[in-house]
Structure 1
Amino acid sequence: MRPKSAHEMSHVINVIKQSLNGSSSIVYLNIKRVTHLNMTAFHCLADVLISASRAEPNRKIVIVTSSVIAWSAPLFETLAAEQPNLVVEIYDSAFYPGQTFVEDESFIPILRTQTKMTWRHERDILPRHGLRQGLTIADICCGIGDFATLIKRQFKPVRLVALDHSKKSLEYARRVAAEFGLSTIEYTYGDAAQMLLADNQFDFVTCRHSLQIFDRPDILLRELYRICKPGGRVYITNEKNSHCLGEPHSESIRWTYEQVAKLFSHFDMDVEMGPKSRRLLNDAGFDDIKVESFMVTNLDGDPRDFADVIEAWENVYAGQMAVRRGDPPDFIRRFRQGFKDHVLAALHPKGYAGWPIWAASGRKPY
């Protein structure tokens, strides 16, 4: 919104006035996607909002902004400070339920290890889902950017955008890319559920281990569909944590990972999503859907790597999430024991430990 005069804002203002006139309780003004706003536009919006606030002091007006647009919340908060029934809500302040659990910087080395272990499988899987050299690619919910760097080096896209909502993760990702001399990856701060990316611009869109930690994966899939070109593909990976396994002590391990699934469900996340991938992609409008699964194991390289990952899971799931849920000490002790038994299975000279992942993709119809 960058009008030269207030007259150019008349249509927008009329729509807002009609909405305000149609409600006497609460009204939401969604400006999450407004990337540019000059002072002419702001003063027009401010005038109508202040007038409406004073006319109906019992009506609540909520201005919905996003932290992705850095100027938006502070600008409208100055306006709301003078009107008690005018409120600014930063839509993505809680973004997705699991963000606080995975943004701890101490978790970064484990995320890199996880990617190293899954990449051994995915570098062979991705071409079966349509990834090849010379494509435009978006890696959505890119996290620390390690997957994007691997894609850049092996598949040499003509353009690669990597988007995430964690500033800490993106800072780390840019450092790693610089170390490898990969200066052309476009690391972007953004809200995956409300992306400021144009429609129909990517040949191949990836979103790994992320749908399962959104409380509304359908909204994220809708955005992945939107930015994908007709004929392009969206590739997703998700887990089924209750199927993590190990020997010896299989019963203890099985019980613990069944509890992991219930724990995530408590926080509105679904780490059982892997086998649901086909349905999710179909419901989102994709066709030519491909689904396969693979098992990451302690035989994929150094077993110590897998053990490190399991110990990190224990720290986050039993050390943070279970405590926040309010689980009693006896439960947490048994919960932790299953992780310790899984570590033992990973390191045992005759042991076996596994972590199942589903990879799936769908084509956006022409």
Structure 2
Amino acid sequence: MSPDRGYQASFNENNQEFVIAGKLRPRSEDEIRPLAQSLGEALGQVKGTFYLNVKRLARLNNVAFRVIAGLVSQVCGGRPDLRVEVVTSSVMGWSTRKFLPLARLLPNVSVNEYDKDFYPGQSYLEEGGFIPILRAQTKLTWQHEKHLLPRHGLRPGMAMADVCCGIGDFAVLVQKELKPASILALDHSRSSLDYARKVAADFGVSGIEYVYGDASEMVLEDNQFDFVTCRHSLQVFDRPELILRELYRICKPGGRVYITNEKNSHCLGEPRAESIQWTYNEVARLWADYKMDIELGPKSRRYLIDAGFEDIRVDSFMVTNLDGDPQSFADIIQSWENVYAGEMARDRGDSPEFIARFRQGFQDHIYAALHPKGYAGWPIWAASGRKPS
């Protein structure tokens, strides 16, 4: 409805959900009369809970808000049996603030900021304490990825998006060494983006635009980017297919989407292999309990095919203690222990005996990484697919 005016609206009868997206900035109520009529009809025909979804509504002026709020108030005032749930997003923080007063006035209206707890394990992985592990990981994985990215389709002069960019160091390395025309880097963590901007400034790198956003509902136009990356992130989401749907949408026809993911149960080390294997098997179970899949790596091809991509390319590589300074790899393992055997295992309710054995496997992995004859590895899958022309 009315895409020429900057907004789209639709009603799904099965879900009882009315979705408004885009920009809703009429100069008068008459301009959105068709929208008001559709919303009124939808409200009038449902029973139970009605979902008003505005999580991808980028702009809403007071004229439009008065129309929507007036309709909701009128219907809810006469129908105490009807519940209206307004679905907002933290990406559009104004929408939560805008609709909350309506919920305070009407007992059968509520506001749900759907991405408030978007990843079940988000609080463990996105805040400042995880920055050292991310910097160390990128330092080691870049030695492999800088050769893989051209094979997967990245060329100088392309428009690129780095979705779930984290602390931004990958985008900086790509911009410096592989020379895309521009990079839009998006993440759902404000603290990570603050750090990312600092990294870019410290390196004197321009051409990167950092954007706060929800990877499953990006407020970006369709078919914008020649090359889209999403690294070590699908494994964090409980519904990775939603992220892939969005990566597909923003990629240009003929462009490619590149993803990397892990399989932690295949982490290895010698000596002390048995203890190391046990711990990383438990890491996979721990992540599963938080609805995350640290085993997603080999599943990447299936996910890309199911999302509609073609010409799938898959590589795997092993980050090891031989890729540079072994202490850097040991530092990564120590960070894993601090988070996984610390906060996450404790919050899951694991016993002190379990946590002690869990920690020992990480320490044995560090021992393997630093041993003069030792070998320690961490496997990663890199995969990409082309969006059909």
Report the TM-score, using the length of structure 1 for normalisation. 0.98
Aligned 1:198-277 pairs, distance under 5 A: 198-277=221-300
Matched, 1:40 2:63: yes
- Can you list the C-alpha shifts for 1:221-243, whole angstroms capped at 9, x where unaligned? 00000000000000000000100
- Can you list the C-alpha shifts for 1:124-175, whole angstroms capped at 9, x where unaligned? 1111101111100000000000000001001111111000010000001001
Q: Which residue of 1 aligns with 2:335?
A: 312
Q: Which residue of 2 aligns with 1:131?
A: 154
Matched, 1:53 2:76: yes
Q: Which residue of 1 aligns with 2:88?
A: 65
Q: Which residue of 2 aligns with 1:336?
A: 359
The 2-side partners of 1:124 and 1:103 are apart by: 27
Q: Which residue of 1 aligns with 2:301?
A: 278
Instruction: Indicate the structure with greater strand content.
Output: 2
The 2-side partners of 1:183 and 1:287 are apart by: 33
Matched, 1:119 2:136: no
Aligned amino acid, residue 60 of structure 2: L
| Secondary structure of residue in 1 paired with 2:149 | helix
Contact 1:24 1:56 in 2 (8 A): no
Q: Which residue of 2 aligns with 1:178?
A: 201
The 1-side partners of 2:126 and 2:86 are apart by: 27
- Where has structure 1 moved over 6 Å in runs of 4 or more? none
The 2-side partners of 1:53 and 1:302 are apart by: 64
Aligned amino acid, residue 319 of structure 2: V
Shift of 1:15: 1.9
Q: Which residue of 2 aligns with 1:88?
A: 111
Report the TM-score, using the length of structure 2 for normalisation. 0.93
- Can you list the C-alpha shifts for 1:277-322, whole angstroms capped at 9, x where unaligned? 1100000000000001000001111111111110110111110111
Aligned amino acid, residue 123 of structure 1: K
The 2-side partners of 1:104 and 1:174 are apart by: 15
Q: Which residue of 1 aligns with 2:324?
A: 301
Q: Which runs of 5+ in 1 are unaligned?
A: none
The 1-side partners of 2:77 and 2:345 are apart by: 46
Shift of 1:360: 0.2
| Secondary structure of residue in 2 paired with 1:234 | strand
Contact 1:239 1:358 in 2 (8 A): yes
Shift of 1:91: 1.4
Aligned 1:1-40 pairs, distance under 5 A: 1-40=24-63
Matched, 1:351 2:368: no
- The one of 311, 321, 346 equivalent to 1:288 is 311
Identity %, equivalent residues: 62
The 1-side partners of 2:41 and 2:297 are apart by: 45
Q: Which residue of 2 aligns with 1:169?
A: 192
* RMSD value, Cα: 0.9
Shift of 1:78: 1.4
